[in-house]
Structure 1
Amino acid sequence: MHPFRKAVEDRDEQAVADLLAPNVVFTSPVAFKPYPGKAITAAILRGVLRVFEDFTYVREIADPGGRDHAFVFTATVAGKEIHGCDFLHFDEAGLIDEFTVMVRPLSAAHALAEAMGAQFDRIAAEAAAESAAQSQVG
């Protein structure tokens, strides 16, 4: 099992964050503008773990070189069944530097947008705190 899949399925937030490159770019299925940086990406993924119920990966697809992976999933958000895919690209160090999510159907995408919108103040605060802590360490 891929380490990313294991971390997500174990709901191990730290293990997920440890797999993110500092320059990772997260592209949301419900927001136009991508989110650059590890702190905001990790915070968004923690928010997703809070709003997704019955989350499971159903398929894992990888390119022969190992740098591109697709993880197909199902979950429930606000009573709506959602189907989606996490498209990940890994850098030379094996860290995720591109993270794109696609979801369907539209009714579930709307439910996800609403649920994540309700989380966004917390997500922004978590990302700011993490960025501040990183700047003190680095």
Structure 2
Amino acid sequence: MHPFRRAVEAGDTSAIEGLLADDAVFTSPVVFKPYQGKAITAAIVRGAARVFEDVRYVREIVSADGRDHALIFRAEINGRQVQGCDFLHLDEDGLIDDLTVMVRPLTAANALAEAMGAQFDRIEREALGAPVAEAQ
């Protein structure tokens, strides 16, 4: 089991951040342009942890060289059932340098876009290291 999966299932966003390379790239299921850098990727993951409910991985597929992982999950967003996959690529040091998330069905992707959109001001402040009020 990849440590990313363990950390997500435990809700340990600090551990997830520790698994990210400084040059990590996050590709969203609902935004075309990828996000560049560890700080924004970690902030997006924290936002997703606030949005996704009852995340459970149902399958893990690993490439022969161990540098690519597909982690298939089920979750809920605002009462909508979500099926998805986290695609991880590891750099030479074993850190995640590419994280791509895909979700289905379209109604779940729309619910995710809405929920993450509501989080995005906070996500951007977190990525910049600005103080964030807990009530948000």
Distance across 1 between alignment mates of 2:39 and 2:9 = 21
SS at structure 1 position matched to 2:29: coil
Residue 92 of structure 2 is aligned to residue 95 of structure 1 = no
TM-score of the aligned structures, taking structure 2 as reference length: 0.94
Distance across 2 between alignment mates of 1:9 and 1:54 = 9
Structure 1 residue 48: deviation in Å? 0.3
Match of 2:106 in 1: 106
Match of 1:125 in 2: 125
Structure 1 residue 54: deviation in Å? 1.0
Structure 1 residue 2: deviation in Å? 1.6
Aligned residues: CA RMSD: 0.8
Distance across 1 between alignment mates of 2:2 and 2:33 = 28
**Could you list the per-position Cα deviations for residues 45-80 of structure 1 after superposition, in whole angstroms to 9, with x for gaps in the alignment?**
000000001111110000111000000000000111
Distance across 2 between alignment mates of 1:42 and 1:74 = 21
Q: Structure 1 or 2: larger helix share?
A: 1
Distance across 2 between alignment mates of 1:68 and 1:55 = 21
Large movers: runs of 4+ above 4 Å: none
Match of 1:53 in 2: 53
Structure 1 residue 120: deviation in Å? 0.3
Distance across 2 between alignment mates of 1:12 and 1:74 = 18
- Segments of 5+ residues of structure 1 without an aligned counterpart are 131-138
Identity %: 67
Residue 69 of structure 2 is aligned to residue 69 of structure 1 = yes
